[in-house]
A and B are shown apart, each in its own frame.
Chain A
Amino acid sequence: MHTSVLSIGGNHISNDIAVGLRTPVAEAEKIKTRHGCALSSMVGREERIEVPSVGGGPDRIFSRQILSEIIEPRVEELFTLIKQEITKSGYEDMLASGIVISGGSTLLEGMPELAEQIFNLPVRRGIPKGIGGLVDVVKSPLHATGVGLVLYGSRHQGARLFRNREENVYQRVKERMREWIEEIF
């Protein structure tokens, strides 16, 4: 098993868009979620988007192609860094099941496709499963971590309650003495 964290995320993409299209970061974030695409070859040439200016100037029109040309290199950089990390871990040849990506940024159009190109492996978005109730609300990679925390909590809750029951001093002493005796024989 291998764990590693890279400090690159969706807000880097938003910053790039803010700088590239000269628009406030909050607007860049909206443009990213509404029109963003990680693979510029998936965007039609005629598609246009409206971009607000910093300081309340008139909106400007850009082609969606330009937007995805800003996003693509950043996402490509991210996946390339992850690939290097996987190579470093030595598990490169064992990833037969492929890669699962999760989090809000992976909702970007073209994200799994671009990842597949870079990793040469099947890539899918991680959608929370194994739950009931308000499934429609959380059925998105956006909520993968939140749902995972609930599942982790529910699965490890039993063990914790069990341990609490043993906190009784007499029980603990008895348990400890039983262990000693077992050690001796």
Chain B
Amino acid sequence: MGKRENIVVGLDIGTTKISAIVGEVVDDGVDIIGVGTAPSKGLRKGVVINIESTVESIRKAIDEAEVISGQKITSVYTGIAGGHIRGINSHGICALKDNEVRAIDVEKAIDAAQAVAIPLDREVIHVIPQEFVVDDQDGIKDPVGMSGVRLEAKVHIVTAAVTSAQNIVKCCNRAGLNVNDIILEQLAASEATLSQEEKI
């Protein structure tokens, strides 16, 4: 089996089925080159309750995807779901030097927005910048280069139970896979199904 550079694998660990989808990044987007599915046995309500059977199902789905795509799969992007997911809105402020927004100011404002009390048993999965406010002007998507004295970032923070996320990583590792990133399943689904106008 070959190993190409630009391969991205999505592993959807669901309650009913587990599916592995292999995509190849090409110039004008992504080509799907392999799909593998297996019935899921070790989950309830989106959360891993049996590591052994989950690993087995993951292996089955990955093996199938490897055969179809002809690629060796070593790392995956995987999803997370379940009743433990919470979303909160937060905002952070940064004073602007030189009366102009620089990329580093945007980072600082987003970092400041992340300064919320998150219990030890939860971890941040996503920090999604929604809009920026420069002085009193709101609704700004990309503030870099704008003039102003004060930058405010409005972000949405998604957190999950640490143990649930760890169990997913553990299952993937035991199946011989590295996890590149854990993504909220709804967010992933929206990435694939919504048009640009619908996202706004």
Contacts and interface: CB of A to CB of B under 8 A. Distances in A.
A169 interface: no
A185 B34 CA distance: 53
Contacts of A5: 46, 81-85, 186
Nearest to A124: B193
A10 B14 CA distance: 11
B26 interface: yes
Nearest to A157: B8
Contacts of B138: none
Main secondary structure on chain B at its contact with chain A? strand
Interface stretch (B16-24, B50-58, B116-124, B169-177): B16-24
B123 to A, nearest CB: 15
A147 interface: yes
B87 A151 contact: no
A40 B81 CA distance: 30
Interface size bucket, B side? 35 or more
Nearest to B160: A5
Contacts of A150: 8-10, 21-23, 30, 32, 77
Main secondary structure on chain A at its contact with chain B? helix
Contact of B10 (A142, A153, A155): A153
B198 interface: yes
B16 A104 contact: yes
Interface of A: 1-7, 9-11, 29, 97, 100, 102-104, 126-135, 137-138, 141-157, 160, 179, 182
Interface of B: 8-12, 14-17, 19-26, 28-35, 45-46, 76-79, 81-87, 89, 97, 104, 128, 130, 156, 158, 180-181, 183-195, 197-198
